């Protein structure tokens, strides 16, 4: 037993705690309150004024929302704590997923808002899957207009384990003026920007406390027979025993304790910090959870790669074993080694050089070129096995980007590398056919911020537009066409002459070339050139798109002993196609994808409407496996309609719906839509 707290919870080393939760629930404000309360900052800033540590980046300030994880280290009662303020928007959820493996606990910042329950469920699911002990901090209690117990009932379906109310509010008319801590059995009144004041509990509040405390103990007793017996026999369990149970059941992730507060007024913050101090596990338990052995060899997980404008690349990492100092050589699991150039303390965007870091600390490590978000680093001779395995969610939206100024073209490649190192849920694809560089990401804001970051952080201003769709064209009718190229220019002339039989092929066949020349009317050695000319002409059909699903047979032709050449036959082949295809009833082909949407089931009907509005064909519904209250909708729909589908899906699902898609087949497209696509293509050329 530790002397300063139950369950030996003192001296557990530096902690690392993630602040997570639905969009705009108050995480950044809570971090601000924690930093102010622990003296790391002089004054509590606000998100609205753009003065917080968590949202200090230019992008976060301009959108008034968190768009990446930010880190701040502070000291509370002699212990070091690093808090990670995670963005709430599902579009930026990868930043949360990347840091979770290495944290000791998460504080899930919530509010009493029905609409945010699906988001809460999504976040809790990540914590549950990664086995992270978690508290709920029920924030914005200053705005509460319903009983806290009702709020818990509302939120409970989002959690697989019981939400354990361990504080109840004290109402003063319509507002909450304080709270009772059910474990401590003490009552407090809130004071603005100051620790709450202890008050005497009496009358009705005393009765409510007894009842609520009993409910809390009953839940704890579900996993503690001795406590159950005490409750049945009406024996008051000792306070230390209750704290031990709270800590144990939190660490075993079988309950999720709920604390109350208001981050803007710094209410409930001190109790939250004390709960973290006494009840959350420390680094040794976290290392054990991850299978990291303690010892002299350093093992660290990179929570985020960050490219500072002046200080170069930083790897923000939590040290799970050993020590790291200036000059320590660290190796990634893939075996790439690098030397640490500087260890830095974190305070949002601010990095401060410091001495070596010890186990449990979360610091920035300078200049590890080959390390990136999610990597496991070690100082041992053998690379350590990778700890984190969370693969990013598949992307759902794309934009094509171009450097605003040509001179910046060369800077784009390195900027993309940095961008995707920092955020693995972004991918960059070069489309050779359309000559476009396409960034794929998790939503509109995610991509907008990526483009802003290219400009602000990596100094390459870009223009963006929707990426082009992979249209093709094909033919419906066969034709036999001569292609003749004859040119007399001074001395040496050019002569090539071919007859091509052009035929449609079934969907998905691609292109076939046949040589059916007899009697050497076109000499062998020119035939590959004919094929080249044909293939070249097929890149751009009469409608403006690559031509597929057809065959060309070379059936006849003639040559000239002096004037014929590869070049001349190439041209003849091309002419045959250019003149032949328009007579073959060309038709547009559009890519059709199979799309699988997941959404809370109250939105399923809306998904139907969205899909039919986008030329989708619904293939089936199902309940989503392992997700109570969610559905899966399968459909086939044109690529062009998937383009911005996510925007509609998100707005119909309070931000939580998503989908995956894969190419299925090409389908003929005629009529007005086809005419518009062809006209747009012509206009663009
Ligand atoms: N009334 C009230 N408002 C709060 C409280 N905490 C935060 N807010 C407000 O809620 C809004 C969102 O706060 P943030 O701290 O940015 O929330 P967040 O969870 O960090 O948001 P994202 O990171 O974008 O998901 C701001 O306008 C805050 O002022 C609170 O305790 N009471
Ligand atoms: Mg925030």
Residue 677, number of CB atoms within 10 A of its CB: 19
How many whole angstroms from 258 Cα to the centroid of ligand 1? 18
CB-neighbour burial class of residue 624 (10 A; exposed 0-12, middle 13-18, buried 19+): middle
- Ligand 1 near 70 CB (within 6 A): no
**What would the mean pLDDT of 570-578 be, rounded to a whole number?**
97
Q: Cα angle at 367 between 363 and 369, to 5 degrees?
A: 115
Residues in the chain: 685
Please say if the pLDDT value at position 552 is more than 70: yes
Residue 564, number of CB atoms within 10 A of its CB: 24
Please say if the pLDDT value at position 489 is more than 80: no
Pocket test for ligand 1, best of 25, 69, 90 (most atoms within 8 A of CB): 25
Instruction: Grade residue 192 by pLDDT with cuts at 50, 70 and 90.
Output: confident
CB 394 within 8 A of CB 446: no
- Ligand 1 near 142 CB (within 6 A): yes
How many whole angstroms from 52 Cα to the centroid of ligand 2? 9
Ligand nearest to the CA of 109: 1
Bridging pattern class, strands 299-308 and 312-321: antiparallel
How many whole angstroms from 264 Cα to the centroid of ligand 1? 8
Instruction: Grade residue 382 by pLDDT with cuts at 50, 70 and 90.
Output: confident
**What would the mean pLDDT of 615-635 be, rounded to a whole number?**
92
Q: Kindly give the number of the ligand 1 atom that is closest to the alpha carbon of 32.
A: 15
Rg (CA), the chain: 32
- Ligand 1 near 532 CB (within 6 A): no
- Ligand 1 near 82 CB (within 6 A): no
Please say if the pLDDT value at position 175 is more than 80: yes
Give the closest residue (by CA) to ligand 1 atom 12. Answer: 24
CA dist., res. 394 & res. 396, Å (int): 7
Task: Report the pLDDT value the prediction gives residue 11, as an integer from 0 to 100.
Answer: 61
Ligand nearest to the CA of 90: 1
Residue 509, number of CB atoms within 10 A of its CB: 13
How many whole angstroms from 60 Cα to the centroid of ligand 2? 8
Please say if the pLDDT value at position 264 is more than 80: yes
Please say if the pLDDT value at position 367 is more than 60: yes
Q: What does the pLDDT look like over 39-56, one tens digit per residue?
A: 999 999 999 899 999 998
How many whole angstroms from 24 Cα to the centroid of ligand 2? 6
Q: Cα angle at 518 between 517 and 522, to 5 degrees?
A: 55
Helix (H/G/I), strand (E/B), else coil: 114: helix
Q: Kindly give the number of the ligand 1 atom that is closest to the alpha carbon of 88.
A: 25
Give the closest residue (by CA) to ligand 1 atom 9. Answer: 26
Q: What is the mean pLDDT of the chain?
A: 92
Query: Helices 225-232 & 203-221, crossing angle to 10 degrees?
Result: 140
CA atoms within 13 A on the CB side of 162: 17
Q: Any residues with CB less than 8 A from the CB of 192 and at least 6 apart, and which?
A: 265, 266, 267
CB 65 within 8 A of CB 29: no
- Ligand 1 near 263 CB (within 6 A): yes
Please say if the pLDDT value at position 7 is more than 50: no
How many whole angstroms from 9 Cα to the centroid of ligand 2? 29
With CA atoms as reference, report the closest residue to 261 among 395, 470, 107. Answer: 107
Bridging pattern class, strands 586-600 and 472-475: antiparallel
How many whole angstroms from 26 Cα to the centroid of ligand 1? 3
Ligand nearest to the CA of 140: 1
Task: Report the pLDDT value the prediction gives residue 391, as an integer from 0 to 100.
Answer: 86
């Amino acid at each position: 037993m530790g002397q300063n707290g139950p369950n030996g919870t003192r001296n557990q080393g530096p902690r690392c705690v993630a602040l997570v939760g639905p969009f705009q629930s108050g995480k950044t404000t809570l971090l601000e309150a924690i930093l102010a309360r622990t003296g790391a900052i002089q004054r509590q800033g606000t998100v609205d004024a753009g003065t917080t540590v968590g949202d200090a980046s230019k992008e976060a300030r301009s959108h008034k929302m968190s768009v990446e994880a930010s880190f701040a280290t502070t000291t509370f009662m002699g212990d070091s704590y690093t808090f990670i303020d995670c963005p709430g928007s599902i579009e930026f959820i990868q930043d949360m997923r990347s840091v979770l493996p290495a944290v000791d606990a998460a504080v899930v910042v919530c509010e009493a808002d029905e609409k945010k329950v699906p988001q809460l469920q999504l976040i809790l699911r990540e914590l549950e899957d990664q086995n992270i002990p978690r508290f709920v901090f029920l924030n914005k209690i200053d705005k509460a207009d319903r009983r806290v117990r009702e709020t818990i009932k509302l939120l409970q379906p989002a959690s697989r384990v019981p939400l354990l109310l361990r504080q109840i509010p004290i109402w003063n008319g319509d507002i909450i003026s304080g709270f009772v801590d059910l474990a401590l059995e003490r009552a407090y009144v809130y004071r603005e920007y100051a620790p709450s004041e202890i008050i005497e509990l009496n009358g009705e509040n005393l009765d409510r406390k007894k009842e609520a405390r009993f409910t809390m103990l009953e839940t704890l007793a579900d996993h503690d027979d001795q406590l159950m017996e005490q409750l049945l026999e009406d024996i008051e369990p000792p306070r230390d025993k209750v704290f031990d149970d709270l800590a144990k059941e939190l660490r075993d992730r079988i309950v999720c304790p709920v604390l109350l507060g208001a981050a803007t007024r710094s209410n409930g913050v001190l109790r939250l910090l004390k709960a973290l101090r006494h009840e959350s596990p420390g680094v040794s338990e976290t290392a054990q959870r991850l299978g990291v052995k303690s010892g002299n060899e350093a093992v660290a997980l990179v929570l985020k790669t960050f490219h500072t404008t002046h200080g170069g690349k930083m790897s923000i990492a939590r040290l799970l074993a050993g020590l790291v100092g200036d000059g320590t050589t660290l190796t990634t699991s893939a075996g790439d080694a690098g030397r640490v150039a500087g260890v830095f303390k974190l305070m949002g965007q601010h990095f401060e050089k410091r001495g070596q870091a010890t186990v449990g600390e979360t610091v920035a490590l300078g200049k590890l070129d080959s390390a990136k978000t999610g990597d496991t680093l070690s100082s041992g001779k053998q690379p350590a096995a990778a700890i984190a395995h969370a693969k990013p969610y598949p992307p759902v939206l794309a934009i094509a980007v171009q450097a605003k100024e040509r001179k910046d073209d060369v800077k784009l490649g390195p900027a993309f590398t940095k961008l995707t190192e920092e955020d693995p849920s972004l991918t960059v694809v070069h489309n050779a056919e359309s000559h476009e560089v396409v960034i794929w990401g998790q939503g509109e804001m995610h991509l907008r911020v990526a483009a802003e970051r290219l400009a602000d952080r990596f100094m390459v201003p870009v223009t963006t537009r929707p990426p082009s769709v992979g249209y093709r064209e094909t033919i419906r009718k066969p034709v036999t066409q001569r292609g003749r190229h004859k040119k007399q220019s001074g001395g040496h002339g050019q002569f090539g002459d071919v007859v091509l039989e052009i035929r449609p092929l079934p969907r998905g066949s691609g292109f076939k070339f046949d040589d059916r020349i007899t009697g050497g009317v076109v000499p062998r050695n020119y035939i590959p050139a004919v094929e080249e000319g044909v293939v070249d002409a097929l890149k751009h059909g009469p409608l403006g798109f690559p031509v597929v699903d057809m065959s060309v047979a070379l059936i006849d032709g003639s040559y000239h002993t002096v004037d014929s050449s590869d070049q001349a036959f190439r041209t003849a082949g091309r002419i045959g196609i250019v003149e032949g295809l328009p007579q073959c009833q060309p038709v547009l082909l559009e890519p059709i994808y199979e799309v699988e949407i997941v959404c809370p089931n109250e939105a399923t009907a809306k998904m139907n409407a969205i899909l039919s509005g986008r030329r989708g064909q619904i293939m089936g519904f199902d309940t989503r496996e392992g997700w109570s209250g969610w559905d899966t909708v399968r459909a086939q729909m044109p690529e062009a309609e998937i383009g911005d589908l996510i925007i509609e899906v998100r707005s119909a699902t309070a931000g939580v719906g998503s989908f995956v898609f894969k190419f299925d087949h090409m389908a003929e497209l005629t009529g007005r839509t086809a005419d518009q696509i062809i006209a747009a293509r012509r206009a663009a050329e």
